[in-house]
Chains A and B, each alone.
Chain A
Amino acid sequence: MSPSQPEIRGPIQTKPQLIRALREASEIEQQLMVIYLYAAFSMKKRPDEHCSAAQFELVRRWGSTLLMVARQEMEHLALVNGLLTALGADPWFSRENIPRQSRYYLGTHLAGFGARSGAVVPCDIPFVFERFNLQTIGRFVCAESPGYDTLQKSGDPIPTWCFGTPEHPCGSHSLANYTPDRLAAGAAGAAVPPYTLARTHLQPDKEIHPGTIQELYDQIQQAVNELPDLFTGNPNQQVFVPVEYQINIFPITDAASATLALELIVEEGEGIDAPPGFQSHFRRFYDIREELAAELKRDPHFEPSLPLPKNPRREAITHPFARRTFDLYNYSYATLTFVLTSLYKNFVPVANQTYPFFSSALQETAFGPAMTMLLRPIAEVLAYTQSGDGVHTTGPSYHLTPEDEKLLAHYDPDQLGNVDFFLHRFAHIVAELTALSTENLLSVARSADDLPYLKRQLAFVLESATAMSNNLRRIYQIGQLPQFVVAP
Chain B
Amino acid sequence: MTYAKLLTIQFQGYFLCRLATDPDPTNEARGVSGYTMSLLGEDELDAVIRTQVSPAFAKKNLREPAERMGIQIGVNVTGVSFDGDSYPPGNALLGAKVYLEGKNEPFDGPTYDSRNNIVGSDDNMAFVVNPFELAIRGDGVSIFAKDYLNPADPEQKIWKIEDPALYARRLPTAFSSSSTEVMAILRVFDQFSYFRDRRRYLTERIEQLEKKLAAGDPGNTDREGIQAKIQALKTRIYQIEFWGDRVSSKLAFQLTYSHNNNGPQRIEGLEKLKGQADTHHPWPVTYWFGGWDGDLLTGYMAGTLGIPFLPA
Question: Number of A-B pairs whose CB atoms are under 8 Å?
Answer: 136
Q: Is the interface of B mostly helix, strand, loop or mixed?
A: loop
Residue A15 is within 8 A (CB to CB) of chain B in the complex: no
Whether the pair B118, A373 counts as a contact (CB closer than 8 A) is yes
Question: A376's contact among B25, B30, B106, B158, by CB below 8 Å, is which?
Answer: B25
Question: A369's contact among B115, B158, B162, B232, by CB below 8 Å, is which?
Answer: B115
Whether the pair B224, A54 counts as a contact (CB closer than 8 A) is yes
Query: B258 CB to closest chain A CB, in angstroms?
Result: 12
Whether the pair A54, B230 counts as a contact (CB closer than 8 A) is yes
Closest to A468 in B: B118
Whether the pair B234, A60 counts as a contact (CB closer than 8 A) is no
Residue B98 is within 8 A (CB to CB) of chain A in the complex: no
Given A68-B33, A245-B22, A483-B126, A368-B116 contact (CB < 8 Å): yes
Whether the pair A54, B227 counts as a contact (CB closer than 8 A) is yes
Residues of A within 8 A of B40 (CB): 53, 57
User: When chains A and B are docked, how far (Å) is the Cα of A466 from the Cα of B144?
Assistant: 33
| Chain A CB within 10 Å, residue with most, of B22, B24, B33, B114 | B33
Whether the pair A474, B22 counts as a contact (CB closer than 8 A) is no
Query: B284 CB to closest chain A CB, in angstroms?
Result: 19
Whether the pair A60, B235 counts as a contact (CB closer than 8 A) is yes
Residues of B within 8 A of A58 (CB): 231
Residue B187 is within 8 A (CB to CB) of chain A in the complex: no
Whether the pair B25, A372 counts as a contact (CB closer than 8 A) is yes
Question: B27's contact among A52, A369, A456, A486, by CB below 8 Å, is which?
Answer: A456
Bitwise interface map of B from 221 to 259 toward A, beta carbon under 8 Å scored 1, else 0 = 000100110111011001100100010000000000000
Query: A39 CB to closest chain B CB, in angstroms?
Result: 13
How many residues on the A side are at the interface (Cβ–Cβ under 8 A)?
49
User: When chains A and B are docked, how far (Å) is the Cα of A46 from the Cα of B174?
Assistant: 38
Whether the pair A474, B162 counts as a contact (CB closer than 8 A) is yes
User: When chains A and B are docked, how far (Å) is the Cα of A367 from the Cα of B23?
Assistant: 10
Whether the pair A486, B119 counts as a contact (CB closer than 8 A) is no
Question: B164's contact among A63, A71, A468, A481, by CB below 8 Å, is which?
Answer: A481
Residue B120 is within 8 A (CB to CB) of chain A in the complex: yes
Whether the pair B235, A483 counts as a contact (CB closer than 8 A) is no
Question: A57's contact among B25, B232, B246, by CB below 8 Å, is which?
Answer: B232
Q: Which of B1-48 contact A (CB under 8 A)?
A: 22-27, 29-33, 37, 39-40
Question: A64's contact among B33, B116, B159, B161, by CB below 8 Å, is which?
Answer: B33
Whether the pair A53, B171 counts as a contact (CB closer than 8 A) is no
Whether the pair A484, B118 counts as a contact (CB closer than 8 A) is no
Q: Is the interface of A mostly helix, strand, loop or mixed?
A: helix
Residue B160 is within 8 A (CB to CB) of chain A in the complex: yes
User: When chains A and B are docked, how far (Å) is the Cα of A376 from the Cα of B23?
Assistant: 10
User: When chains A and B are docked, how far (Å) is the Cα of A52 from the Cα of B37?
Assistant: 17
Whether the pair A474, B163 counts as a contact (CB closer than 8 A) is yes
User: When chains A and B are docked, how far (Å) is the Cα of A456 from the Cα of B29?
Assistant: 11
Closest to A461 in B: B25
Residue B66 is within 8 A (CB to CB) of chain A in the complex: no
Residue B123 is within 8 A (CB to CB) of chain A in the complex: yes
Given A57-B234, A64-B242, A373-B115, A483-B120 contact (CB < 8 Å): yes
Residue B60 is within 8 A (CB to CB) of chain A in the complex: no
Bitwise interface map of A from 452 to 481 toward B, beta carbon under 8 Å scored 1, else 0 = 010011011001101110110010000001
Closest to A43 in B: B32
User: When chains A and B are docked, how far (Å) is the Cα of A65 from the Cα of B33?
Assistant: 8
User: When chains A and B are docked, how far (Å) is the Cα of A376 from the Cα of B32?
Assistant: 12
Residues of B within 8 A of A364 (CB): 117
Residue B308 is within 8 A (CB to CB) of chain A in the complex: no
Q: Which residues of A does B touch, CB under 8 Å?
A: 43, 45-46, 52-55, 57-58, 60-61, 63-65, 67-68, 71, 242, 244-245, 364, 367-369, 371-373, 376-377, 453, 456-457, 459-460, 463-464, 466-468, 470-471, 474, 481-484, 486-488
> 14 extra interchain contacts, Cβ-Cβ under 8 A, other than A52-B224, A467-B160, A482-B164?
A43-B32, A46-B30, A60-B235, A64-B242, A67-B33, A242-B123, A244-B246, A368-B117, A372-B116, A457-B27, A459-B106, A483-B164, A486-B123, A486-B126
Instruction: Return the 7 tightest CB-CB contacts between A and B, nearest first.
Output: A57-B231, A368-B117, A53-B228, A482-B168, A467-B159, A54-B228, A67-B33
Q: List 22 A-B contacts (CB under 8 A).
A: A45-B32, A52-B227, A52-B228, A53-B40, A54-B230, A60-B30, A61-B234, A63-B33, A64-B33, A242-B123, A368-B118, A369-B116, A373-B115, A456-B27, A457-B27, A467-B115, A467-B118, A467-B160, A482-B171, A483-B120, A483-B126, A486-B126
